[in-house]
Structure 1
Amino acid sequence: MSLVPVADHLAGILAGVRPLPELEVRLGAALGHRLARPVAASLAVPPWENSAMDGYAVRFADVAEAAPERPVTLRVVGDVPAGSPEDPPIGPGEAVRIMTGASLPTDADTVVQLEHTDRDDPAAPLASTVTVLRGPRAGMHVRRAGEDRRVGDPVAAAGTLVTGPVAAALASTGAGTAWVRRRPRVAVVATGSELVAPGERLGRGRIPDSNSLLLAGLVADAGAEVAAVEHASDAPGDLELVLARVVDGAAPDVVVLTGGVSQGAHDPVRRAFAGSDAVRFTRVAMQPGKPQAVGRLGADGPLLLGLPGNPVSVWVSFLVFARPLLLTLAGAPDDVVLPRPTLAVVETGWRTPGGRDQYLPARIAEAAGVADARDAGPALVGPAAALGSKSHLAASLAAANGYAIVPAADQGRHDDGRVHPGDVVAVVRLALELPHPAGAPRGGV
């Protein structure tokens, strides 16, 4: 069987996949989902002119010449705390005490902060006069209505992940609900009779089941819901029983299997789907992660991805194949589904496999003296594990904050089959996602 390019295998996984249904939910329930529809402001931000300081609302003409050597005394005719609906009139020579966030009286155009008056105690009783000791600029400490967003301005694009800041932005612009995509439900099934639960005593030939925890964490990091975590032994028929229980009980959109997809005599996934057209087994031109499987459990059943069993292969395979699938189902934009690699300079070299694209768990760090590490060449990269990309190095995954990609075509640059310090390679960082841009901000800094 010839090796399939990584891009072709991914295209086969995503072919025909559409985002999950949309639903309208309250903003609190939208957290962790992706917007199904763009959101525009139905309320200006701020909704009215308000004070940016505790102080006194005044008419600029009355205090323009105020200075320590020529203070200006005004008569206090009102008090406006935050949330007050009051709009006291202000005539010549008058002022209104005002708190931060309170609506600016219609007759005022400027706020003098408390510290620039003789009434600098915000908890003091309201006095009949206030003396301004320093003249403000016209319009000083006034937040203009709509200076952040006007009614109709874009707030968030479809596909945006609803984080706390995004939900706050929606609320501040008048939304109480949002149309979101349902989060994908994922069942994780680790196969292998050698696996024992974490922390249990190991017999000869047994190993801890780290893959279940690895996948559950990666599923959650991708914004999907972990619907079930199961284990199937290599015994004939056991995987079929586990899959039937998972599909009936957890109603997943996707089932992710680990192990049993290679050519071994006891590989349960191959045995379970032998002679079936439902699951396609593939050898992908990548290292680690060559054996892969993709299919569907029943005509209307969940999608199935079969990943290799070694932990580094699971990690790489999930990030390259399963994560894009889950993000597509969740309605993520294209540039989030398939992040654009950046370039980094190799700090510590490593070996390459030859003949296959290499995906190396890596430590990516900022290069000293470079301000922006998103552009080509400003970052340094090295292997997360001292032994490189060998697929069993589970403990070293904790040190990886991304992966390096070395295409097979680039592996002949050196006769020794290595990537050398000073080489430039493509890297993908595992980082927090920024909200997808919906429009330029109104102001500047």
Structure 2
Amino acid sequence: MLKWKRSLTVLLAAALVGTLAACGGGEKNKATEPGNSASTSENQSVKLRIMWWGAQERHEATLAALDLYTKNNPNVTFEPEYSGMDGYLDKLSTQAAASNAPDIIQLDPGWTPDWAARKQLSVLTPELDVSQIDPKLLAGGQSGGEQYAVPLGSVAYGMIYDKAALEKLGIAAPSNGWTWDDFFALAKEAKSKLPSGQYFSKDYAGDYFAYSAFQYSKGKGTIISEDGKFNVDQASFLEWTTKFEELRKEGIIPPADVNSSDKEFDPQMDLMVSGKVLLRLSFSNNYGSWDSLKKGAYALVTMPRSTEAGGWLKPSMYLAVSANSKKTDEAKKFVNWFVNDPEAAKILKTARGLPVNKDNATALQETMSDTDKVGLELLRATETDGQTWTAGPGGWTNYIDKDWPLVRDQLSFNKITPEQAYEQLADAAKAYEK
């Protein structure tokens, strides 16, 4: 039961709430304001701002889908804003605080409950058809019985590795169902074979999500319990961080300066793409992005397990309509089309995971490329007994985005011991516990 939050700082949260409250933020209030009608005629020109993050593959697919929508609806055009993940939430939060958020916004599952609860989003139903979407995926976009955001895809959390590099070094490739014991044994085996400047994996000692997978596999549940309590299992945490401390001292994982230089999907800065690490964490839908950077070089494998599975399935991301949009009718029509239209699904493919519309997912599997099938294989291997994802309790964003990364960096730079790291996390958690 994992609470998934991206490691980004949420800026201006208090200002955001205050500004939206002053503006009447909720959909009900907006509808009664003079001159704030969301209705448009079929012939009236409408330009919708839409914002998302992703790699180049996702950008190209999304832009093609927008072109198709405009072709079918000539009165609707788009003003797209897209980027990588870094800085995305900061920019979106700043825009929302100024009541200037795009009409349509892509949200991480971990952010969605807070945005919905604060009435920063418009209710999507009844305009949104959810009949072909798994209710378990819809839940993360709901608040107070209303659907404020719709999931765009289903993905699996696992690992990706450099096939050719492992073969060249004479290291056996991992296979689905491998264990954390296998992971650390493989790391130790790699020590004598790694050339200078190359490492087994990133330093995941203080990585929130990597450790979540380890604790999951031990049967110890989530880092933060569903009732909002600190739930890091001390024995598991010390075992995890101590093992990575050993790998760090032996030069099997990168030193802190190299580890912190990593920039996912960047052709020069991504540590795996640049050949500095053999293995890293990955979602199933990200395989195509890495494959486009180095064709045929990589393979996916399930998250290592222990007494239970370490990996999980989750909604990849959500799409929502801003509560400040003055074009909500057209925005909601587009969101419904984006999620449910078969032609849109053919263009978008698995850029955001396997489509949540069951009919579209079935149709897409029949025509999937070999690249897409690699991601699907990880998803299918994970869903057999993978952990269940949940957005978890609210109010812990800063703990995950600020307090945990602080400990991560201190561990990487050998500034604190595993025992001190645990105590620091436990102490910081007291400010968030309900």
Alignment TM class, shorter chain as reference: under 0.3
Bigger relative CO (Cα 8 Å, ≥ 6 apart):
2
What TM-score results when the alignment is normalised by the length of structure 1?
0.20
Q: Over alpha carbons, which structure has the higher Rg?
A: 1
TM value normalised by structure 2: 0.20
Name the structure with the higher strand share: 1
